[in-house]
Structure 1
Amino acid sequence: MTARNGRGLLHLAAALDQQAAYDAASSVELARLAEYGALDFVTLGDTFARPGLDALAVLSRIAPATGRIGLVPTVTTTHTEPFHVQAAVATLDWVSRGRAGWGIDVSTSEGEARLFGRRHAAAADALWQEAGEVADVAARLWDSWEDDAEIRDESTGRFIDRDKLHYVDFEGSAFSVRGPSIVPRSPQGHPVRVVDATDRHARRTAARYADVAVIRVAGPAQARALRIELRDGAAEFGRNPDSLRVLAGLTVDLGDGEHAAEPSHGGGGPRQTAQGPLYRGGPVDLAELIASWHEADAADGFHLTPVEPRRDLERLVNGTVALLQHRGLFRTFYPGSTLREHLGLGRPANQYAAAGGTP
């Protein structure tokens, strides 16, 4: 679909993160509100560095309570088993009927490493190389079952066509994986992989493996330069750059209601803080900021993190999103049912079926 300005429609996503939230009910409410605004997906962060509920488990609870919106938990690739990670994300895709994503992240601190006692903390470049290997082997495992591998033939007692089950033999820098997945190929084939590419160490992994890259910069010129870098990187890896969506990450504080954006928060770009770019003002000026960045080819859309989740997400949906819809820049309904369809991404071909079954 094309916006009135001739470019593709915006993509919008929102974070559901809440401090000290130990009840999934509030996250369900927020996800339903985001779905009311037809947002592409919601994210839920997770880390070994702080206490909290498991993001993937919470979004598995949200899945049956929603019907269209994409669900993207953060699941770290450091100290975890790649085989289990891919199976858990594929399970979320089944539970949500094709709406799962995977926020790929790494664990860099020694304190997190001590929780597991397997190895010491490593440098960021090594951890992101490992994350890329996990993303690679996950795709292989997702493809280890062809789409029609399940027979379920009661007359012969055959459940699986073994000719359509493929064995993965992968040796990474810090792990190895053998055998096919235990989860059949999920509705999307590959759940959507999301990488925050603000850190330069993460950009190579994002360019090679991500379906969505998030960049947190304060100005449209910086965002545009990073978008070009990521798309060029994707092309160098043999990918179609148009298969990568680049979203600008922005923390939003809409507590001032309809007031204009504070100086250095609105038309001049968000204010850079230690936590990333921050917009503080009203939903009208936020809509203008989003539209202007999109028009300048700075980003394919935005990933927005509300400062006050319930208040800001409501103002975002009923104010900013409604204005963008009125201007023909954002959808008014979901034309499809999967997260890939929301993002305008095709369903990946099975690499083993396409290669005649050769791993």
Structure 2
Amino acid sequence: MTAPHGRALLHLAAAIDQQAAYDAASYVELTQLAERGALDFVTLGDSFARPGLDALAVLSRVAPATGRIGLVPTVTTTHTEPFHVQAAVATLDWVSRGRAGWHIDVSTTEGEARLFGRRHAAPADALWQEAGDVADVAARLWDSWEDDAEIRDETTGRFIDRDKLHYVDFEGATFSVKGPSIVPRPPQGHPVRVVDATEGHARRTAARYADVALVRVTGPAQARAVRAELRDAAAQFGRDPDGLRVLAALTVDLGDGEQAADPGHGGGGPRQTAQGPLYRGGPVDLAELIAAWHSADAVDGFHLTPVQPRRDLERLVNGTVALLQHRGLFRTFYPGSTLREHLGLARPVNQYAVAGGAS
């Protein structure tokens, strides 16, 4: 689908993080609100550095209460078992009927390492190299079941065609995995992989493995340069650059009433803070900012983190999104049912089925 000026429609996503929220109802409510705005997906952060609910488990609870919107929890690749991680993400894809994503992150501090007691903290470049290995082996394990591997033939008692299950035999620097997975191939083939590509160490991993790259930038020129760098790097890794969506990540404070953007927040871009780019203003000026960046071909869309989740997400959906829909820049309904369809990404071909690899 394309906008009136010929460019592809915007992609929009929102964070539903809340401080000290331990009830499922609040996350369901926020996700349903985002779904009413036809947002591509919501994210829910997670970390070993702070107490809180498990993001993947929370979104598994949200899945049956929603029908179309993508669900993207943060799951770290440090101190966790790659085999378990890929199985959990695949399970979310099954229970959501093809709406799962995975925000890949790493754990860098010695305090977090002590929670597990297995190893010390490692440098960021090594952790992101490992994260790339986990993303790689996850894709292999998702493909270790061909789509028609399940027979379910009651007359013969055959459940699986064993010729369509494959060993992945992965050997990385910090782990090895034989496979196959214990979960059948997910509905999307590969759940959508998301990486914050702002920092240099993560950017290489994003270019090689991510379907969606988030970048924290303060202006369209900077965004355009980072997007071009990511697309070029993806091509060097043998990927089709059009298979990578680059979203600008902004924190938004939409206030309690319509107001002009604070100086430095509207028009040319948001203000840089210690926590990243911050937009403070009303929904109308935010819509203008988003439209201007889109018109400049700076990014493929935006990932927005509300300062006050309930208030700002409601103003985002009823104000900013409604204005963008009115201008023909954003969808008014979901034309498909999976997160890959929302993002305009093809379902990956099974690498083992194509290669005809032996199990």
Cα distance in structure 1, aligned partners of 2:279 and 2:136: 36
Q: How far did residue 6 of structure 1 move?
A: 1.2
Identity %: 88
| Pairs within 5 Å for 1:215-294 | 215-294=215-294
Letter in 2 for 1:88: A
Pair 1:295-2:295 in alignment: yes
Pair 1:96-2:59 in alignment: no
User: Which residue of the partner structure matches residue 336 of structure 1?
Assistant: 336
Match of 1:43, SS state, is strand
Cα distance in structure 1, aligned partners of 2:337 and 2:296: 30
Cα distance in structure 2, aligned partners of 1:226 and 1:4: 25
When normalised by structure 1's length, the TM-score is: 0.99
Match of 1:148, SS state, is coil
CA deviations over 1:28-51 (Å, ceiling 9, x no partner): 000000000000000000000000
Q: How far did residue 257 of structure 1 move?
A: 2.1
Letter in 2 for 1:14: A
Task: Say if 1:77 and 1:106, in contact at 8 Å, map to a contact too.
Answer: yes
Match of 1:183, SS state, is coil
Letter in 1 for 2:11: H
Q: How far did residue 179 of structure 1 move?
A: 2.0
Match of 1:89, SS state, is helix
Match of 2:131, SS state, is helix
Task: Say if 1:164 and 1:357, in contact at 8 Å, map to a contact too.
Answer: no
Cα distance in structure 1, aligned partners of 2:230 and 2:167: 32
User: Which residue of the partner structure matches residue 147 of structure 1?
Assistant: 147
| Structure 2 alignment gaps of length 5 or more | none
CA deviations over 1:152-205 (Å, ceiling 9, x no partner): 111111110000000111111111111200000010000000000011100000
| Pairs within 5 Å for 1:64-75 | 64-75=64-75
User: Which residue of the partner structure matches residue 199 of structure 1?
Assistant: 199
Cα distance in structure 2, aligned partners of 1:291 and 1:202: 28
User: Which residue of the partner structure matches residue 63 of structure 2?
Assistant: 63
| Structure 1 alignment gaps of length 5 or more | none
Task: Say if 1:14 and 1:41, in contact at 8 Å, map to a contact too.
Answer: yes
When normalised by structure 2's length, the TM-score is: 0.99
Q: How far did residue 358 of structure 1 move?
A: 4.2
CA deviations over 1:247-301 (Å, ceiling 9, x no partner): 0000000014210101000012100000000000000000000000011111000
| Pairs within 5 Å for 1:1-359 | 1-358=1-358
Cα distance in structure 2, aligned partners of 1:319 and 1:67: 23
Letter in 2 for 1:114: R
Cα distance in structure 2, aligned partners of 1:331 and 1:318: 14
Letter in 2 for 1:279: Y
Letter in 2 for 1:239: R
Stretch deviating more after TM superposition (57-66 or 217-226) = 217-226
